[in-house]
Chains A and B, each alone.
Chain A
Amino acid sequence: MNVPPLTPEPVFQGDSSPSRGVVPTPVLVEGIFTRRQIRSITDGITRVIIKTGGISIILCILGMCIFLVKEVIPLFLPTQATLVEPIPLSPLEHRVSAALIGIDEHQEVAYALRGDNLEFVSLGATTSSISTIPVRGLLPDGSVTALARALGRGHSLVIGTGDGRVIPVTIEFTQDFQNNERSIAPSVKVGTPIAAGPTPQPITKLAYQSTDSEVRIAALLEDQHLWLTTGRTTSRPDGTTSVSTTQVDVTPGLSGRVTAVTLASRAELLAVGTDEGKVYHFDLRDATKPLLTETTQASDGSKAITALGYLMGDRSLVVGDAAGQVVVWMPVREHPGTNQTKMTVVHRFASHQSAVTDITISQRDKGFITTDAEGGIRLHHSTSAQTLLTLSPQQGALRNTYFAPKADGLVGLTEDHRLIHYQISNPYPEITLSTLFSPVMYEGYERPELVWQSSSGSDDFEAKYSLTPLIFGTIKGTFYAVLLAVPLAVLAAIYTSMFMHPDYRTKIKPAIEIMAALPTVVLGFLAGLWFAPVLERNFPAMTGMVLVTPFAIIASAGLFLLLPASVRHRIRPGVEAFLMIPVIIAVVWGCLETNTWWESVLFGGHYKPWLQTHLGLNYDQRNAIVVGVAMGFAIIPIIYSISEEALTNVPKNLIAGSLALGATRWQTLIYLVLISASPGIFSALMIGLGRAVGETMIVLMATGNTPIMDWSLFNGFRTLSANIAVEIPEAPHGGTLYRTLFLAGLLLFVATFLLNTVAELVRQRLREKYSQF
């Protein structure tokens, strides 16, 4: 060790190293400072460096929590909308009865189709100048009486005319990059007109959907007949195409006047709303025979249904009525096991003040926009059942609205021919505290449930971000681990500190402690690839072991105590544990050898069917037992070492006093040592819990990682930590999943921090208490 000599060194050595000795007189070095000044300056500088360094390091460490919070907060920020200046469109010569509006995905070019007048408006992000591209005359003449838009990607519209024809119009936006600047050029394609009914009469309501092979049109004609037309385009060998149509009248069976019509995006479903507040649901899979599957009384007060819309995924139907109510309906299975579904109200949203006029569906998520007769706009999200945004009327009533393709903006067309454009910041509509932690009614489920399923193959998937199953899994894994580890570790600690021969104690303790450093990936690997199959093969034997071990211990101890004292005293005290090892080996070996016997005795032949029939439990190979054992293994050394420390630190004079007063070793332990050390053991338990809660690799490798909520010993689970490891590689930076996983990380951080703080405080108090003796 470099202990400096205490005798002063000679001062004048001539070198520049500061002397350790007493400096009698300031010694001049080159420059303006004396050596003493240099020394004191150095001292000051290092003081500043270490202070700022130390504080900043500590702040850095604590800043972690702040950073995690910062990443999570955007999830809960309210939706924001900014209104871009309304843009007046060019005046029209005559009144039009129908209008549609739309915008490209970058929100740079909007279009407004008013009657037969298609107009493009450049919204250019930097310039406010408006260039209009009127497309008059592109469309065939004839009065336009109705307009409709197909759901889904792209801008596929139809124009319904006064003579009962339907003209498809497709608008495409092509991007062009020049000098790193994006320019967007719209183009319009007009398709072949299709007759929407048997007789030429004006179309009053229109719904339209096109798929790869065919188009579907539901048109309400002036005579109140609703015709469903399916047009199939076939290519002839000579290269020309022809459209063959089939037409069906769906009016028979409807009562009341039709007030709203909508088609689902795959054109397999048709919903018709009437002025009596009824909604008729048709199955269109056979185009020639639309099947009325269900009729629902959708409006409470028999108010007219004024707007309908299928949400992305074609399962949920949004219904708006004349009273301003907005309700989401979903087919819900009536009885488990059957496929019979019934349309059910699943989400109700805040009512509008006046009749709902329009429903616009998001192409991104389960969001939609509703507008009312006064021009109010509301943005809702179905899964989270929340109204994200309420915009008060701006420019009077709206003729039509459109949700920007990336769900980050909306355009509306007002009665006085102005275009209003909102930029919407709404990146995490599906996350609320209740979707994260309480049961949510998802599409295709029978009742509100807690589900974690962040991704799936299809685009129109409803992401399910419930953290509850993961928290449950964390608690389950921790519980089983603690169940195994605490008794073993505490008993072992008691034995080592109280009863073990001191010669062995110094060797046993580090041996167990070094296990704390065993990488958990090793435990996970052994648990998943070695122990899980071994347990599956020898489950009856393992059950037997659990049953037999206590008896074997008692029996062997009893036998030992029955031995004559002369024999007993020949054995050194404090070696009981070593005498127990052969007993345990014998029990383990014996049980493994008699596996089939155990299986027939305990489980009547085969344990898996037995568990299935008697307890209704499925046996998974990677189950909670495997995790419990492996994670128990991981926390035994920690709990052991802290409890051992607490037990050993119980003042020796107290123990000596107790023993001297005639208490046995056991009585001393129970009535003195355990009670004084119990806070220490408690803090060991807390720290062990903290380790188990955050353990990742073991859980990742030793369970199936299925996020189910079931206390069964025989199936797996998914913990918060394993979930992060599994999902974060696929989570795009800044996305909902990414931030939700950060929230999971934050929860883990807070939980373990609390556990550890409690443990640490308890430990410090204990230390202070002992220091009095």
Chain B
Amino acid sequence: MRQWIRQVMASGELFIWGCGAGLALSLFMIAGLLVLILVNGFGYFWPADLVELTLKDGKHVVGQLAGEEVGPKGVPRIRMKIGNRDLYGLDYRWINTDQIVERATPADLVMVERREWGNFYGRIRTLTKEDQTVVEGVEAVWQSLPALIREVESSEGNSPYALLVVDANGREKSIGLSQVVRVLRPNALSTLGKVWVYVGNVWMVLTTEPREANTEGGIFPAIFGTVMMVLIMSLVVTPFGVIGALYLREYARQGVIVRIVRIAVNNLAGVPSIVFGVFGLGFFVYGVGGTIDALFFSDRLPTPTFGTGGILWASLTLALLTVPVVIVATEEGLAAVPREYREGSIGLGATKWETIWKVVLPTALPGILTGLILAMARAAGEVAPLMLTGVVKLAPALPIDWTWPFLHLDRKFMHLGFHIYDVGFQSPNVEAAKPMVYVTTLVLILVVVTLNLTGIVLRNRMRRKYAGSAV
């Protein structure tokens, strides 16, 4: 045995396993993280069954299951989303399983999505109009609801109708239809119906505005703000990055200075983003913005127009942050253009610029695109510099609308990453907000990962293509 141990130690096989374990642990952590986000993010849209529990003390609880665990005293317990914030005050509740007498999923349970106070879980009693009962009976009310809710939308959110509902223990509550976003009976839905609701939920989150301090509703303005900001940034960063790279690679005399500059540019990619934020605040917002205000908008002072954070300053800050990425990638692309191409072009009488414009740049295009896409991915995920240069938790208006000059670069905007921070850490009811944060996270990660994958694939393809030719 001792012999064997000595042999194993000498061969080092054990340590190789140790290295393998390091990789395994890293992969495990990464996979766990992705699974966590995917499950929580995609799970958010699923219309889970409403469960009615009968407890030992005769009380009833209606809600959606939200997890189970072994409690602090070793008693298994389940977590229920019980909603009805206006009645109970809390959205979630722990129930020890030994207290539960019966579990059921009756088909008549409804989930009412409201504009305030979160969801209501319970049963429908009647439909009233100005305190007079109009429709009685669950099925009858259910039949007439869709038309009435549609009517609310067309009459600008006003409705004389109200739903009389009861919670699990018979407490009555009247909900005006103007407050109702949607009524669902998840238990009565078929699987296909649930899938339909699921798709509808995804669509709703992607296209509607947030409600209730961003914890409910959609994230459309955040998606729009993120995309808009990244687009403006790309418009700025591409020409600057390409010109910078062209200068460094094609025009500058290669020597110590260019080498130093190259290192400096490279290092700038490693400077913390918050430093760029600080710079953006001091230079763009207060410096440039303040000057613009003093020159062109002095009649509005002291209310700042450009002298405060806005989408333009945020985009410019991020452009500065990502310009090294574009320069480095473009340089790599330029370096990969085979020398024969240039020589051929020059030999045929083309000027330097003609060679660059017609030969080098088209060939290096994948490199430039890679840089741009990676820059966009980096910009989409940055939050810290935005916090100083113009992101807000709730923007009153989008940066584009139908009033002159249509594109409002001075406006503040919403951003997916900041949305995560704000909803998850600044909202008064973090527990209720968590699902929304997971959804936002999922969307953000999908955007960033898609961009990155595109960039990496492009880069790999380019490298393979020119791997042999750059002699």
Contacts and interface: CB of A to CB of B under 8 A. Distances in A.
Contacts of A530: 36
B196 interface: no
B271 A753 contact: yes
Interface in B235-293: 240, 243-244, 246-248, 250-252, 261, 263-268, 270-279, 281-283, 286
B320 A61 contact: yes
B23 A691 contact: no
Contacts of B261: 58
B18 to A, nearest CB: 6
B38 to A, nearest CB: 12
A376 B449 CA distance: 69
Contacts of B273: 694, 696
A479 B118 CA distance: 43
Contacts of B365: 2
Contact of A560 (B17, B27, B277, B384): B17
- Greatest chain B CB density within 10 A among A519, A526, A556, A742 is at A519
Contacts of B43: none
B271 A701 contact: no
Interface in A677-692: 687, 690-691
B23 A757 contact: no
Nearest to A576: B20
A491 B23 contact: yes
A529 B263 contact: no
- Greatest chain B CB density within 10 A among A553, A554, A667 is at A553
B4 to A, nearest CB: 8
B212 interface: no
A764 B453 CA distance: 28
B203 interface: no
A491 B247 contact: no
A125 interface: no
Interface string B376-411: 011011111001100000000000000000000000
A12 interface: no
Interface stretch (B91-99, B157-165, B169-177, B416-424): B416-424
Nearest to A749: B275
B20 A499 contact: yes
Contacts of A756: 266-267, 270-271
A696 B247 contact: no
Contacts of B441: 522, 525-526
A558 B281 CA distance: 58
Given A3-B363, A495-B22, A576 B17 contact: yes
B456 interface: yes
Contact of B383 (A499, A549, A636, A697): A697
Contacts of A757: 263-264, 267
A697 to B, nearest CB: 5
A190 interface: no
Contacts of A690: 270
Contacts of B341: 3
Interface stretch (A16-24, A356-364, A708-716): A16-24
Interface stretch (B78-86, B137-145, B344-352): B344-352
Contact of A664 (B11, B27, B275, B452): B11
B359 interface: yes
Size band of the interface chain A makes with B: 35 or more
Given A54-B248, A529-B437, A733 B286 contact: yes
Nearest to B285: A733
A311 interface: no
Interface stretch (A40-48, A404-412, A464-472): A40-48
Contacts of B19: 491-492, 494-495, 498-499, 576-577
- Per DSSP, are chain A's interface residues mostly helix, strand or loop, or mixed? helix
A30 B323 CA distance: 41
B20 to A, nearest CB: 4
A752 interface: yes
Interface in A376-429: none
A524 interface: yes
Size band of the interface chain B makes with A: 35 or more
Contact of B352 (A47, A491, A500): A47
Interface in A470-507: 487-492, 494-496, 498-500
A4 B359 contact: yes
A293 to B, nearest CB: 46
A529 B424 contact: yes
A33 interface: no
A581 interface: yes
Interface string B185-210: 00000000000000000000000000
B358 A721 contact: no
B26 A512 contact: yes
- Greatest chain A CB density within 10 A among B272, B286, B417 is at B272
Interface in A54-79: 54-55, 57-58, 60-62, 64, 67-68, 71
B48 interface: no
A658 to B, nearest CB: 13
B11 A666 contact: yes
Contacts of B18: 491, 553-554, 557
Contacts of A633: 29, 33
A690 B18 CA distance: 27
Contacts of A669: 12
B414 to A, nearest CB: 14
Given A487-B22, A529-B434, A666 B267 contact: no
Contacts of B374: 517
A725 interface: yes
A38 to B, nearest CB: 10
B358 A4 contact: yes
B301 to A, nearest CB: 12
Interface string B279-322: 10111001000000000000000000000000000000000100
A577 B354 contact: no
B445 interface: yes
Nearest to B380: A519
A679 B45 CA distance: 49
A567 interface: no
Interface string A529-569: 11000000100000000000100011011101110000000
A755 B270 CA distance: 9
B28 A584 contact: yes
Contacts of A320: none
A515 B350 CA distance: 44
B8 interface: yes
B26 A2 contact: no
Contacts of A579: 20
Interface string B441-459: 1001100110011001000
A1 interface: yes
B351 A40 contact: yes
Interface string B340-371: 01001100111111101111001101000000
Contacts of B283: 64, 67
Given A4-B345, A756-B267, A522 B445 contact: yes
Given A40-B351, A525-B441, A633-B33, A577 B448 contact: no
Nearest to B268: A61
27 contacts: A2-B363, A3-B359, A4-B359, A6-B348, A18-B354, A39-B354, A50-B243, A50-B246, A54-B244, A58-B264, A61-B323, A64-B268, A64-B283, A68-B279, A500-B23, A514-B449, A517-B448, A519-B383, A557-B14, A561-B8, A584-B21, A585-B28, A588-B28, A667-B12, A696-B274, A701-B421, A745-B274
Which 6 residue pairs of A and B lie closest in terms of their CB atoms, listed nearest first?
A54-B247, A694-B272, A666-B12, A491-B22, A519-B381, A557-B17
Given A526-B441, A562-B4, A640-B26, 6 more contacts: A53-B240, A515-B30, A521-B421, A561-B8, A577-B20, A741-B278
Interface of B: 4, 8, 10-30, 33, 36-37, 69, 74, 240, 243-244, 246-248, 250-252, 261, 263-268, 270-279, 281-283, 286, 320, 323-324, 341, 344-345, 348-354, 356-359, 362-363, 365, 374, 377-378, 380-384, 387-388, 417-418, 420-421, 424-425, 430, 434, 437, 441, 444-445, 448-449, 452-453, 456, 465
